[in-house]
């Protein structure tokens, strides 16, 4: 009987503590950043929780799961250390900056499944791009070189990640997420942050 009382008492202490962790300033900040516009975008893209639906709509996997063990340094995009996951790229959407049509969908391997965690808007550098793109009131990261080895260095671009389906301790719009982990496999790539490039 004493053990039961002790267990109840411990549960009474632990549960509120867990609730406080769940309601931490980071989580609250992510919810605060999730505007009605972003909620609509997330709802519109929810169908891609099934990666096969994404493939049917022209999104194709780059195969590798990407992590950045170290934060970006001098001359690099200032990525926080963290993961990105597996990118599904739709080249047919390049050149269109539409909130409902991200060029990239990002998945995290969880067991034997792929879990949709983020969307990415991707704008290659070209003579038509006169200034840094913006979406959702945020400026894109970059301009940067391509993410080698899954992307040629020569594919210079701006991009904007939005973690619509997974909380990100680094922020809703951070390019990397410390809560994303890649499995130990030949298709996990531990990359360095891409180099910043000039936009003439």
Same domain, 13 and 60: no
The model's pTM: 0.85
DSSP run (H or E) holding 86: strand 82-89
**Is residue 26 predicted with pLDDT exceeding 80?**
no
Among 26-35, 102-111, 136-145, 165-174, which is the least confidently predicted range? 26-35
**In terms of domains, do 141 and 45 share one?**
yes
Mapping DSSP to helix (H, G, I), strand (E, B) and coil, where does residue 153 land? coil
**Is residue 61 domain-shared with residue 115, that is, in the same domain?**
yes
Q: What is the pLDDT of residue 12?
A: 44
Residues 134 and 160 in one domain: yes
The pLDDT score that the predictor gives to residue 31 is 66
Q: For residue 19, give its domain range.
A: 1-33
Residues 39 and 92 in one domain: yes
Looking at residue 80, the DSSP 8-state letter turns out to be: P
- Confidence band for 33, pLDDT divided at 50, 70 and 90: confident
**198 domain residue, yes or no:** no
Co-location of 23 and 103 in the same domain: no
pLDDT digits (tens, 9 = 90+) for 102-140: 999 999 999 999 999 999 999 999 988 989 999 999 999
Q: Residue 199: inside a domain, yes or no?
A: no
Based on the domain organization, do 120 and 25 belong to the same domain? no
Q: How many domains does the chain have?
A: 2
Residues 52 and 136 in one domain: yes
């Amino acid at each position: 009987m004493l053990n039961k009382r002790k267990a109840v008492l411990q549960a009474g202490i632990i549960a509120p503590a867990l609730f406080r962790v769940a309601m931490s300033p980071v989580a609250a900040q992510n919810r605060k950043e999730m505007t009605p516009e972003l909620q609509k975008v997330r709802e519109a893209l929810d169908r891609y929780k099934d990666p096969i639906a994404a493939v049917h709509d022209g999104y194709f996997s780059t195969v590798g799961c990407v992590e950045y063990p170290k934060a970006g340094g001098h001359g690099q995009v200032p990525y926080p250390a963290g993961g990105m996951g597996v990118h599904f790229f739709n080249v047919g959407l390049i050149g269109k900056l539409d909130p409902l049509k991200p060029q990239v969908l990002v998945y995290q391997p969880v067991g034997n499944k792929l879990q949709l965690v983020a969307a990415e808007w991707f704008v290659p550098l070209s003579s038509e791009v006169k200034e840094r793109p913006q979406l959702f009131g945020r400026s894109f990261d970059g301009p940067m070189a391509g993410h080698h080895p899954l992307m040629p260095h020569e594919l210079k671009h701006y991009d904007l990640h939005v973690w619509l389906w997974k909380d990100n301790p680094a922020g809703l719009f951070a390019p990397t997420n410390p809560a994303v982990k890649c499995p130990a496999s030949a298709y996990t790539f531990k990359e360095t942050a891409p180099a910043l490039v000039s936009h003439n």
